[in-house]
Every structure is written in C-alpha cells, then in structure tokens.
C-alpha cells in the first residue's frame, strides 16, 4: 500500500461533507507561465515552470492566508465549476506538494495549458487566480 499525502484526509472530508467553499483571492494575485511561452514549439518531455505574484505557495492542506497551490489544466475545456474541487485526471494535474515546475510527457501536436490556483482543499479561489491559456506545439 502506498503512502498517502498528508492533505488527503482533509480533502476527503471536504468532499464527503459537501462543505466546499471558495476562499477569497488576494486582490493582486496572478499566476502565469515562466516557460513555455505561448505559441512555442517544444519537444517532449516539456518543462513547465509556474510563476505567481501577490500570494504564496503552500502544500495542499495548509491553512495559511493568501496561499494556495498550483493546478495545471491540459487540453481542458474550461475551468471547474465555482466552489467545486478541481478534478484530478489527465486534464487536471495537482501540485499539492507546493511544486512550481514539472516535466510533462505530451503527445505530438497542439496542446493548451492553463494554470489555476487552488486553496488548501483544491477549490479555486474566488475570483479564480488563473493564467492566460497558452497553446504549444509538441514535435515528435
């Protein structure tokens, strides 16, 4: 049996109780891509570096004002519903350890990427702290 992240019990409690509630976003918070740039042609694995201003990064489950953690939306149709936890699937990658970069194995072709900050319970802030959606092309 694998080791569970320390934030998992809190996340499960929020999910089971239906008490999910959006945390107010700091007024000056913004999230953006350091790399890659919009329109870039890259090879896989793709190094993605996250930028953030106006708030801090903390692991999921950390109850500290004006902090959150990154989520990377890959070829996602849109943002998750307001007040709902961000899904964890092939289109929504969680960085609940407080990570600020990753390596992605992406298939050749065009892909869209977007960053979304989540609070301690993986719920987007209100209003959402979300990056511009960028498009990259992955070569073979």
Instruction: Determine what percent of the chain is predicted with pLDDT higher than 70.
Output: 86
- C-alpha–C-alpha distance, residues 60 and 71, integer Å: 11
Element of type H or E holding 74:
strand 67-74
pLDDT band at 22 (very low <50, low <70, confident <90, very high): confident
C-beta of residue 2 within 8 angstroms of C-beta of residue 105: no
Non-local CB neighbours of 91 within 8 Å, separated by 6+ positions: 73, 74, 75, 76, 77
Non-local CB neighbours of 1 within 8 Å, separated by 6+ positions: none
Helix, strand and coil in the chain, % to nearest 5: 5, 40, 55
Non-local CB neighbours of 75 within 8 Å, separated by 6+ positions: 91, 111, 112
Does residue 21 surpass a pLDDT of 50?
yes
Three-state SS string across 99-138, please? Answer: CCEEEECCCCEEEEEEEEEECCCCCECECCCECCCEEEEE
Q: What is the pLDDT of residue 140?
A: 78
Does residue 2 surpass a pLDDT of 80?
no
- In total, the chain counts a number of residues equal to 140
């Amino acid at each position: 049996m694998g080791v569970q992240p320390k934030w998992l019990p809190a996340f499960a409690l929020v999910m089971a109780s239906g008490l999910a509630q959006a945390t107010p976003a700091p007024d000056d918070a913004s999230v953006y891509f350091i790399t890659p740039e919009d329109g870039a042609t890259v090879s896989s694995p793709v190094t993605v570096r996250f930028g953030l201003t106006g708030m801090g990064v903390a692991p999921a489950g950390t109850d500290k004002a004006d902090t959150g953690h990154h989520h990377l939306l890959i070829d996602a149709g849109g943002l998750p519903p307001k007040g709902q936890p961000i899904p964890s699937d092939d289109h929504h990658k969680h960085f609940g350890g407080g990570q600020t970069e990753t390596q992605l194995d992406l298939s050749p072709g065009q892909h869209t990427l977007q960053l979304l900050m989540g609070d301690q319970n993986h719920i987007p802030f209100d209003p959402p702290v979300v990056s511009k959606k960028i498009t990259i092309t992955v070569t073979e």
